[in-house]
Structure 1
Amino acid sequence: MALEHAILVSLLEKPGSGYELARRFERSIGYFWTATHQQIYRVLKRMESEGLLAVRELSQQSRPDKKEYSVVGPGRAVLSQWLHQSIQPESMRHELAVKIRGAAFDDPSVLIREVERHRQVHIDRLAHYQAGELRDFTGPAAPTPLDAGQELQHVVLRGGIAYERMTIAWLDDVLGTLRRLGTSPSPA
């Protein structure tokens, strides 16, 4: 997937400025596809020049005009073509997993704090996802019924929730193993 596909999806969900798009990446899309503000602005400019996006200048009081981007026909065609292409399942690169394996050749307990830190990050992310789910999909203020776009956003969010729960359970297992092994490295 290219950043342009993530931008097309986000702008089809809701047109917006580069700043608004960057904020969406920080709050939602960024959990599974990251991009800096500079990358987003650079790709927006290229997509506009390629005719994939339309830009509307919106005047603002006491601030510079805002450019609002929206997807036009050729942009929808690019997204449609990408949606119909087969992709390879992703391989996971996990530096912490390599460190855990490497602990067999040193003091396994050295990694306890690092694993606890990772666990806390995943607990915090899970809480953030669950709060978003309650706010946007399952709570009293959530729209009913959900439209197709909302249903698909929710299923992606549920995948994130499941991933965080699985990761926390795995890190609990890792911590138990590290504590059980203590400070005794395996013979080299």
Structure 2
Amino acid sequence: MSIQHALLTSLLEKPSSGYELANRFDHSIGYFWQATHQQIYRELGRMTEAGWLLVEHNPTGTGRRKKIYHVLDAGRQELARWVGDSGGPGRNDQALLIKLRAEAVMGPLGVDRELRRLVEQHQQRLQMYRDIEQRDFSNPTMSHAQKLQYAVLRMGIKTEENWLAWAKETLPLVE
């Protein structure tokens, strides 16, 4: 997932200075996507150079000017493009959370397609785990090592079941 898309989403929610954005990021998106303040400032500069952001210089009353970042149309277009792109193979759950927030602030962007794609991946993974469970852990008399291995597998099963339950609740919100 690109930090730039997380920052665009956050700035669409509320135009901010780099400092304000970094603090908000730490207390919202930062719970599932980590970025240092230095990374955030560096990306704000790149995004401004790319024409995705406008910087407004506001006086602070202390002789310094505070930079407030606003998302331009090109930034909105980039975020919409990214939301519409499939995450490809592998786990894209963190990116999905940013895409859901982008959809919340910009309106329908087609994130339902990505959610359905990820549901399919999670269903396949869950079935694979259940097949392993049936094949390798159906014997009621397991050794201590097998019981520990089974505990690890059960965690994977529970994680997939929980994710799919969440997706079932979320999908109607984006359809």
Question: TM-score scaled by structure 1?
Answer: 0.48
Q: State the partner residue of 1:67.
A: 67
Query: What is the SS of the residue equivalent to 1:15?
Result: coil
Distance of 1:72 and 1:65 partners within structure 2 = 21
Local SS of the residue matching 2:75: helix
Letter in 2 for 1:12: L
Question: For 2:64, what is the secondary structure of its paired residue?
Answer: strand
The number of residues matched between the two structures is: 99
What TM-score, normalized to structure 2?
0.51
| Correspondences of 1:123-134 after superposition (within 5 Å) | none
After superposition, the CA RMSD in angstroms is: 2.5
Q: Which amino acid aligns with 2:4?
A: E
**Structure 2: runs of 5 or more not aligned:** 94-103, 106-143, 146-175
Structure 2 residue 43 is the aligned partner of structure 1 residue 43:
yes
Q: 1:89 to 1:62 in 2, by over 3 A?
A: same
Distance 1:63 1:7 in 2: 28
Moved over 3 A (4+): none
Q: Report the AA paired with residue 31 of structure 2.
A: Y
- 1:62 is paired with a residue of what secondary structure? coil
Deviation at 1:61, TM superposition (A): 1.1
% identity of equivalent residues: 50
Aligned equivalents of 1:71 and 1:91: distance in 2?
Answer: 25
Quote the Cα distance in structure 1 between the aligned partners of 2:58 and 2:84.
35
TM-aligned CA deviation for residue 25 of structure 1: 1.2
Q: Which residue of 2 aligns with 1:11?
A: 11
Instruction: Name the residue aligned to 1:123.
Output: none
Q: Does the C-alpha gap of structure 1 residues 91 and 45 become closer, same or farther in structure 2, counting only changes over 3 Å?
A: closer
Q: Deviations over 1:104-160 (max 9, x none)?
A: xxxxxxxxxxxxxxxxxxxxxxxxxxxxxxxxxxxxxxxxxxxx54xxxxxxxxxxx
State whether structure 2 residue 80 is matched by structure 1 residue 80. yes
> What's the CA shift for 1:64?
1.8
Report the Cα distance in structure 1 between the residues aligned to 2:51 and 2:66, rounded to whole angstroms: 19
